[in-house]
Structures are given as structure tokens and as C-alpha cells.
A and B are shown apart, each in its own frame.
Chain A
Amino acid sequence: MEQRFLNPSVLAAISGLELVAKTVVDGFISGLHRSPDFGFSQEFAEYRAYAPGDDLRHVDWNVFARTERAYLKRYRGETNTLVTVLLDASKSMAFSSHSVPKIDYARYIAASLTYLAHHQRDAIGVVVFDDEVRDYVPPSGRQGQMARILHAIERAEPGTRTDFAKPFVLCQDLLRRRGIVVVVSDFWESPETVIRTTEPLRFRGNELVLLHVLDPEEIRPSLREPRILLDMETGDSLQVTPEYARHEYPARMEAHIAGLRSKAQAAGIGYFLAVTNRALDECLREYLSIRQGRM
């Protein structure tokens, strides 16, 4: 049976990040060629009756010639937009219960999204952060931008602990133009902190999307015996029983995800959960479907 979606462990075997992004996105686009409405910009949306004060450049004169009524032709993105990916490279992103660590999965997502945007001639940029901004490639549509982006993503290695406050203050300064900001992180913070920290980006007119990358083991750990767990970022240790990991932890984790989702929605922020054992193109498709639904 032909594999329908791209397995992350298969993608992990591909050495070049560009090739990974190309594999994911090309396959994805070719799979969606009958759905031209997907995308970030330059898409026709609707006609609207002219109202005084509207820019006359947008009047469809052909329609006016036939009907003697002025209509404005509206597009989803009238200009090339800015797509900036904020990639969390904290130490917790190195966690893995299978062959693909979260950081790799996040890299693939970041590379795929930027590749997709670049494919649509949008300006793309990337910010790699942990407790501060590690790397920054300003959004641009220039030639060679894609290579720079991919280089920056590839360079992103798990560093120290996550701290949203400091890098996001910096990001607010860096992202002055309106665009789409995609935050790829495991969001090991309380939903309030995450929303409070990321929300200022939205105030500037950016469309903000939180892409929550989690390992399946983080959602439902499989402990066979009482173990001492070591926090990868803080180094704290804790003895945990299988019963707790089996019953209480998943509930709390679900509450955390639900809280993050609901608070993001309340704040007008997009939220999408990407579990690292899911096929990447399937994940991307779902993400874009959700986005398209919002637009």
C-alpha cells in the first residue's frame, strides 16, 4: 500500500533540510492542485459594492461597463505578506521518545512553512530563540533568502531553557511590519504566560499562530516502574510512579493543551498541536485547513 503521508522518521533520513521542505511542500501542493483557494495571498476573495472613500484603483471597470455599478474586487492578500517563523530551540526540544526529536520536527515544520511561503513569493524570515534570540534572519523576498532561512533553521540546536518574555520583547522590535508570525515551540509554560508573552505581537497587526510541538510520550508517558525523572531544562529531579503517569499526568497535560487552545482562541491567536509521530504533510495540511477556515 502506498504511503499517503510522509513519516517523520523517513524525513529524518533525508539529510538536507531544503530537500525535506521541498519533499513535504511539493508533495502537498501537487496533492492539492484542485484546491486553489489555499494559500497566503494574491487570491481572489469577493466583490464588494463601492463605498465612498474606497480606492478607485480597486474598482472593477469591466463590471462597471456592463452594469453601470461600481464594485471593488477584493483579494485575500493584496500584497506579498511577511511570514516569520519563531523557532524554539530550548533544551526541552531535544526530547525524543522515538527516532525524531521535537527539534527536528520543529525544523521540518519551519522549513516547510517558509518554503511554502517562499513558493508564493512571500517574504520570509526566521527567529531562533530559547531564553534569548539565538538567530535572526529578517523577512525578505530576495533571492537567496530561502537558503539563509534554511541555514538558520539547520543551525538551530537545543540550547538552554525557554523563556518567552525576553526573546518576544526583542521580536516585537524586530517585527515591525504586519505579517504572519508562526511560533513553533513546546510551550512548557502556563497558558497565561504564553498568551501574555505572545499577545503583543498580535497587537501590531500580525497574524499569530502558535504551533505546539509535542512528543507523544509527553502527552501520555509510559512508565513501567517508579522512576526518577530529570527535567532537561532545569535539571530538577522527581520520583514518579507509573500510576501517576498513567492517570493524573495525561489529564493535566490535556488540561494544559485545552487551556492553551482556548486562551489562544480568546486572544485571536491561532493554535495548532503537532505531535511528532504524525506525518508531516498531514500535519501541514491540517494546519492550512484550519488557517483557511479562519480566513
Chain B
Amino acid sequence: MGFLSPWFLAGFAAVGIPLWVHLLRRHRSEPLQFSSLMFFEQRTQSSIKHRRLRYLLLMAARIAVVVLLTLAFASPFVTRSVPPGEGTGSLLVMVLDRSFSMREGNRLAAAKTEAASLLNSWRPASYGQVLALDSQVHLLTQRTNSVDELRAAINSVEAGDGRSSFGELARALRSLSESEKLPLEVHLFSDMQRTSMPSGFADLALSSDTRLVLHNVGSEKPNWAVESVTAPRVVNDPKKVRILATVAGYATPAASRNVSLVVNGKTVSTKTVDVPENGRATVEFLTLDAPHGWNRAEVRIDSADTLPADDSFLFAVERSDPRRVLFVHEGRQRRGLLYYKAALESTADGAFQVEAVSADSVANVAPEKFAFTVISDVASLPPSFERALVQSIKSGGSAMIAIGPAAAARAMVPILESKIAQSKYAARSGERFLALGKADEAHPALQRTNRWENVKFYQAFDVDPGDARVVARLTDQTPILLEKRVGQGRVVVFTSTFDNISNDFPLRPAFVPFVERLARYLSGFEENSVGYAVGSYLELRREGSASRALEVLGPDGKRALSLSEAATTQNLQLTRPGYYEVRRENGRHELVAVNPDRRESDLRTIPEETLNLWQGAPQGESAAAATPNEPREERHNLAWYFLLALLAASVVESLIASRYLSTSKETA
């Protein structure tokens, strides 16, 4: 037995008070003057003895009150060993990590074995539950006291491809503790990867009645992985391709690795790279000989480590002809076309090909056959073309509209029908000009453009944005770039021209990335990244779009969506690595490559101090020492029992005292 507050034991000194009152003070009887002793008699020894006995009982009761009060304040406790899982109505929660890293060696088997052995020593007096952990927490059983059910759930756990998140686990345990209203005894069987930790340690906080026991089934092992691949999604010219692959080594010595580029199962190129100790190396492939259409490509290394699943990185590449861009202009004004075409066709991969058509002869052109349409300062469009263009935008197409003096004569922005309020001028003399003011630099049109540095605007048209989004404004608050979604498509309005008259933008370095990034954005393949991580979501359709069915085939070639899901779902969670084929509602065919989260490749474990801190053990105590399935020591506070005994002693004292003192009460 011990005491949580032993200094309260000093209260035992108060025992002296009843001793003094009963054994010392009572002998001091001062004579009392009375008018006459005529009717008094000397009484008598027997009565005094009787009274003394009652005094002793009263004194004992009072001493007991003092002793019990002191003990209650000192908070005595006893320690007793409790088998794992057995507690005072606690819930045994077994969490098995099934993230991608558990594929290494026999980690998952070790975790299952440990969980099963814990279950063997568990007495089903209380309830248990099995959870599986990756990027989310999955309940494999409900709360149950059936050992067989728990064991079956443990055996059913298989290694997944997701990333483990201890922050998500802590959040789930907090809500479980709240909902179950029971103390939780949580056993986590995991390889304790460092990358599973959340950014802030506070996210790991558990509720006060949760006891965490960590079972580390992993160890630090060297591991090489293809960390990332950067490749264009669309290849127009196989000779102008640049594929960058990053090979990373975690806890590895310096070594040479063979890196292969595999397209459609065929190795097209192999290179050797020196990966420094515990570092990264980059491999560059400059050609991609692939047939037209979508190609399943991957970068593979020969790692010879214990986690081969991360030795390849999948990506999808579409080989296609350059995309055509329809450029509509006024017949006489070709300066804008000159600058725009030069900028767009100068990009490295030659993905776009500009086809210029004057406004007069565009009536019979079908805009849906182009990646997107540019309308450069056009006074009026043939109504048939305009209708066709609007229709094509609504079904997912895009358009770029530049407003110049010719367009301003109409006072309305084509397609959008937004009002052009006025023209803003700045004289060329005296260095008076307008520059870019507030801008959303995250917008593709402004990425890598260095905020349109040194670009001077001399004329811009103040367009009423309406419900369009203003991406950028000039210094006088005139909207210079607007974007509006129309149906499934989008329209971007540039309230100046591309002709080096209203501004000097075409002469500035920012113009080429502006045109290129915007073209990629409008044509729908703005991303160079080709990888999706397992657990991420693929956007299938935009919000509010018509519910036309689409089709998604999973890595195994089977439909990933049911028919009803195919008609309504907006996002698809990519749960398995491999290639997903998406046939969108506008007829576009798309191939998506999904890889396991590469953070799982880092097999370094969390420092022991951090683990101890998380499970609340004292620093320096081995986390492993706390994990075995040995009986644990549990403290039981006895203060409540002493308080109850104190209550009983107080009642006894009151009864004895009231009986004794009743004489004086009556005569008073």
C-alpha cells in the first residue's frame, strides 16, 4: 500500500486532541459553588465508571474519525496486477496497421501474431474491438466479448496500399472514447513509421481514460524506391519528351541502381544512377517511343530490398498529335495572332497548333473540334458560330476572349454577354501606364509568370464582372483577367489585346508562360504530374453537371463503379495501385496511374522517446517493455473506502455523543 499524498499523514498528530479531551482534560474538574448541598449526595463510584466506559467509546470513535480523515486525505492506494484487457469495464481496442509499409518482410504476420497472443491472455470479462489502420480507421468488429470474433477479425487483416496516419487514429480513438463512455485500452500493432506521425504532436492527444500500448513490429531497414516521376501527360513529339524519375534511398548506403523506363510492359530504356547514402538521385529519359493513344508506362529500379512493391512508379502518357487551337480574329488585324501563335507554338513539346480564322469566315467552323477557341478582339461573330461555341463550352469546351477596341464597339463581351462599361487609357508619354495589381497567383494563367513583371498596360476595358471571378486586376482596379464557368466549360476574358498596342505584354517574358499555361488550363491537361497516390480522389464530374453516365475500369479491368454510382458520383477514391481507365461523359478517354504513397517507403521508425511520450510512459522506459502481454500493475485508490468508513465513524460518534450529552441538553 502506498500514499499519493503522504504529507497529509502529518494529520495523525490531531489524534492527540481527543486523547487530551478525554484522558487529560476530564480530570480537571473545577469546584462549582452552589447555594446549598442540602439535597446532594456523594455519588458514586459505579456511575463514574460507567461514564468512563462511555467516554472511552466516544474517545475511540473520535480517534477513528481523525485517523480515517487523515488517511482519506493521504489517498492510500494498493497496486495489483491486472491481466491485459481486464479492467474495470474497459474496452480493449486492438488496432492493426495495414498500410503499404506493412508489406515489408513479415511485419503484418508479426502484428497478427502479437495481437493473437494478446487475445489469448485476455479474459473476456469485458469487451474488445478490432480496428484496421491506414489513411483511415476501419472498424473490423463491433464491440464484442467473443474471442473468436475478434480473432477472426485479426486474421482477416491484409496489407493494403494506403498510408498509415496516427493522427487519424488518435482522432478516431477520441471519438470512440466519447461514444463508448468506457475507458479504452488500446493496443496498436504497427511498424511505427516516422512518416505516419502528424505534423503536430498535439494531434496525437488521446482522452484521459485511454491507455495506449504500442507494439512495434517493424525495424529500420534500408529501402530504395522510385519516389516520383515527372512526365508529360500528352506527348506530341516522342523526340521532345523529358521524363524525370527520382530514386530515393531511405537508411541506405551509397549504391548504384539500374533504372528502367517501361512502356506497355516493354523496357524502352535503362540507365544506371548512383544513389548517395540515404539520399536521392534523378534520372532523365529524353525519348518516349510509344504508340498513339494512352500508354501504360512505369519507371522501375532493381532495388533488391525487402519492400519490392515500391520499386516501380506507374504513370500514364497519351501520345497524340498537337492539339488544334482555333484563333478567331478581325480580318485586318493579325498582330495579335502573330504574337499569340508564336508564343504558343514555341513551347517545348509542341502540344498546340494554332489555326487562325477571320471572324468573317468562321461561320462554318465547328469549335468542338478544337482544344479551345481564342477570340481576339472581334467586333462581331456569326450567330451560328456563336451558338455552336456556346454549346461546345457548355459541354466542356473552353474559350479565351481578348477585348480590344473592336470588341468594345459592341459594348458587350461575346459569349458572356457581360457589359463593357468603359475604356481605360494611360498615355504613353510621361511613363504613365497601368500594371498588374491584385491577382490570384495560384491561377494557372499567373503561374510562373512572375506577376507579369514589367508589363505595361495602356488600354484596358472595364468589364462588369457579374458572376464571373476576377482573377487579376490592374493597379486602377480594372479587371484584367476574368474567368467564368459556363456549363461544363470555362471562359477566360482578357480585357486587353495581344497585339502590342494596348499593352506591351507580348514583348515581355511573362507572355509565353501565360499563353502556354492558360492553353493547358483551357484544354484540360494543365497538370504535368502524372501520379495519383492511393487514397486520393479522382474528380469524375464537376458539381451540377448533367448526370450522364461515365465508366471507370479499375486496375483489375473491372468496373470500379456501379451503374448508379456511374451516373451520379462526382469523385472516386483510388484505393488500389495500378491503372484506372476513365471514359468521361464528353467521350474523352483517360488513363490514370495510381501509386502507393511514397511516404510509406521510408521505413525509419519513430524515436523511442516520442513513442514513450505518446503512450504516456516515463522517459527512458523502453516502449517495448510496456508492450508485452504481461500483467500490468494497476493502482486502486482507497480514499473512497476511507471516506465511507469516516462517514460511519462520524455517525457512531454522533450517536454516542448525543446519548451522553442528552443530560445537559435537557437541563439547559
Enumerate chain A interface residues (CB-CB to B < 8 A): 92-95, 102, 186, 188, 215, 218, 220-234, 236-246, 248-249, 252-253, 256
Residue interface bits B15-35, CB-to-A below 8 A is 1, else 0 = 000000000001001111111
Distance in angstroms between the alpha carbons of A283 and B619 in the assembled complex: 87
Whether A231 contacts B29 by the Cβ 8 Å rule is: no
Chain A neighbourhood of B36, CB < 8 A: 92, 186, 188, 218, 231-233
A249 partner, pick from B39, B51, B668, beta carbons under 8 A: B39
Q: CB-CB < 8 A to B30: which residues of A? A: 227-228
Contact residues of B with A, CB < 8 Å? 26, 29-44, 47-48, 51, 661, 663-664, 666-668
> Does B40 lie within 8 Å of A246, measured CB to CB?
no
* Chain B, residue nearest A249 (CB): B39
Residue of A nearest to B55 (CB): A225
Q: What CA separation (Å) do A218 and B29 show in the bound complex? A: 20
What is the bound-complex CA distance between A232 and B33, given in angstroms? 6
Q: Judge whether B34 and A248 touch: CB under 8 Å.
A: no
Instruction: Check B44 against A241 for contact (C-beta < 8 Å).
Output: yes
Residues of A within 8 A of B43 (CB): 239-241, 243-244
Q: Given known contacts A244-B40, A249-B40, what 6 new A-B pairs fall within 8 Å (CB)?
A: A93-B35, A186-B35, A215-B35, A218-B35, A228-B31, A256-B39
Q: In the complex the two chains form, is A242's CB within 8 Å of B32's CB?
A: no
* Interface-centre pick from A186, A188, A229, A233 (highest chain B CB count, 10 A): A229
Q: Is the beta-carbon distance between A228 and B32 smaller than 8 angstroms?
A: yes
CB < 8 Å neighbour of B31 from A229, A243, A245, A246? A229
Residues of chain A contacted by B44 (CB below 8 angstroms)? 241, 244
Q: From A251, which residue of chain B is reached at the shortest CB distance?
A: B39
Q: Which of A222, A234, A238 contacts B41 (CB 8 A)?
A: A238
If A186-B35, A224-B661, A229-B37 touch, does A238 touch B42 (CB 8 Å cutoff)? yes
The answer to whether A222 touches B664, judged by C-beta atoms less than 8 angstroms apart, is yes
Q: In this complex, what residue of B is CB-closest to A242?
A: B663
Please, which residue of chain B has its CB at the minimum distance from the CB of A95?
B35
A to B contact number (C-beta, < 8 Å): 104
- A241, B39: Cβ atoms closer than 8 Å: no
Min Cβ gap A125→B in Å is: 27
Cross-chain contact A246 with B667 (CB below 8 angstroms): yes
Q: Which residue of B lies closest to A234 (CB)?
A: B37
Across the two chains, which residue of chain B brings its CB closest to A215? B35
What separation, in Å, do the CA atoms of A222 and B662 have in the docked complex?
A: 11
User: Which of A95, A227, A246, A253 contacts B39 (CB under 8 A)?
Assistant: A253
Q: Point out the residue from A220, A232, A239, A245 that lies within 8 Å of B35, measured CB to CB.
A: A232
**Minimum Cβ distance to chain B for residue A246 (Å):** 5
Contact A95-B34, Cβ < 8 Å, known A241-B43, A243-B43, A253-B39: yes
CB distance from B65 to the nearest CB of A (A): 21
Question: Do the beta carbons of B29 and A228 come within 8 Å of each other?
Answer: yes
Task: Decide: B664 and A244 in contact? CB cutoff 8 A.
Answer: no
Query: Can you show 22 pairs from A to B with CB atoms below 8 A apart?
Result: A94-B35, A102-B35, A188-B38, A218-B35, A221-B34, A222-B663, A223-B667, A224-B664, A225-B26, A226-B29, A229-B33, A229-B37, A231-B34, A233-B35, A233-B36, A234-B37, A238-B42, A241-B47, A243-B47, A243-B663, A244-B44, A252-B39
CB pair A240–B661 under 8 Å, yes or no, is no
For the complex of A and B, the 10 pairs showing the least CB-CB separation, nearest first, are A222-B667, A95-B35, A92-B35, A224-B664, A188-B36, A252-B39, A244-B43, A228-B31, A231-B37, A229-B34
**Across the interface, which residues of A come within 8 angstroms of B41, CB to CB?**
238, 240, 244, 248
> How long is the Cα–Cα vector from A94 to B667 in the complex, in angstroms?
22
Query: Residues of B contacting A252 with CB < 8 Å?
Result: 39
Q: Report the bound CA distance from A162 to B32 in whole Å.
A: 20
Contacts of A223 in B (CB 8 A): 663-664, 667
List the A side residues contacting B37 at CB < 8 Å.
Answer: 229, 231, 234, 236, 238
Task: Tell me the bound Cα distance from A106 to B664 in angstroms.
Answer: 28
Does the CB pair A239–B33 fall under 8 Å?
A: no
How far is B44's CA from A286's CA once the two chains are assembled, in angstroms? 41
Among A230, A240, A241, the most chain B Cβ lie within 10 Å of the Cβ of: A241
With A92-B35, A228-B32, A229-B31 as given contacts, are A238 and B663 in contact (CB-CB < 8 Å)?
no
B34 touches A232 (CB 8 A): yes
- The answer to whether A224 touches B34, judged by C-beta atoms less than 8 angstroms apart, is no
Q: CA of A215 to CA of B36 in the docked complex: distance in angstroms? A: 12
A237 vs B31: C-alpha distance when bound (angstroms):
8
- State A215–B30 Cα separation when bound (angstroms): 21
Given contacts A239-B42, A243-B43, contact A229 B663 (CB under 8 A): no
Taken together as a complex, chains A and B put the C-alpha atoms of A222 and B37 apart, in Å, by: 15
Considering only CB atoms, which chain B residue lies closest to A247 in the complex? B663
User: Is the CB–CB distance between B668 and A222 below 8 Å?
Assistant: yes
A253 to B37, CA, bound (A): 11
Query: Is A221 within 8 A of B667, CB to CB?
Result: yes
Contact A242 B39 (CB under 8 A): no
**Cβ of B661: which chain A residues have Cβ within 8 Å of it?**
224
Shortest C-beta distance, A221 to chain B (Å), equals: 7
Bound together, the chains give a CA A241 to CA B47 distance in angstroms of 8
Could you tell me the distance between the alpha carbons of A191 and B661 in the complex, rounded to whole angstroms?
35
Residues of A within 8 A of B39 (CB): 249, 252-253, 256
Q: What are the residues of chain B within 8 A of A225 when measuring CB–CB? A: 26, 29
Q: CA A186 – CA B39 in complex, angstroms? A: 14
Q: Is the beta-carbon distance between B40 and A240 smaller than 8 angstroms?
A: yes
Closest to B34 in A: A229
Which residues of chain A are near B51, meaning CB under 8 Å? 226, 241
Beyond A241-B47, A244-B40, whether A227 also contacts B668 by CB under 8 A is no
Kindly provide the distance from the CB of A196 to the nearest chain B CB, expressed in whole angstroms.
Answer: 17
Q: How far is the CB of A89 from the nearest CB of chain B, in Å?
A: 13
With CB as the reference atom, state the residue of chain B lying closest to A220: B667
A277 to chain B, nearest CB (A): 13
Q: CA of A230 to CA of B31 in the docked complex: distance in angstroms?
A: 6
CB distance from A223 to the nearest CB of B (A): 7
A244 CA to B40 CA, complexed, in Å: 8
Within the assembled complex, what's the spacing in Å between the Cα atoms of A244 and B44? 9
Chain A residues, CB < 8 A from B34: 95, 218, 221, 229-232
Which among B29, B38, B666 is the interface contact of A227 at CB below 8 angstroms?
A: B29
Contact across chains for B33 and A242 when beta carbons are under 8 A apart: no
Q: How far is the CA of A225 from the CA of B54 in the complex (A)?
A: 12
Q: Hey, which chain B residues are within 8 Å of A232, CB to CB?
A: 33-36
| Option from A188, A218, A246 in Cβ contact (under 8 Å) with B666 | A246
Measured between beta carbons, the chain A residues less than 8 angstroms from B42 are: 238-240
Shortest Cβ distance from A96 into B: residue: B35
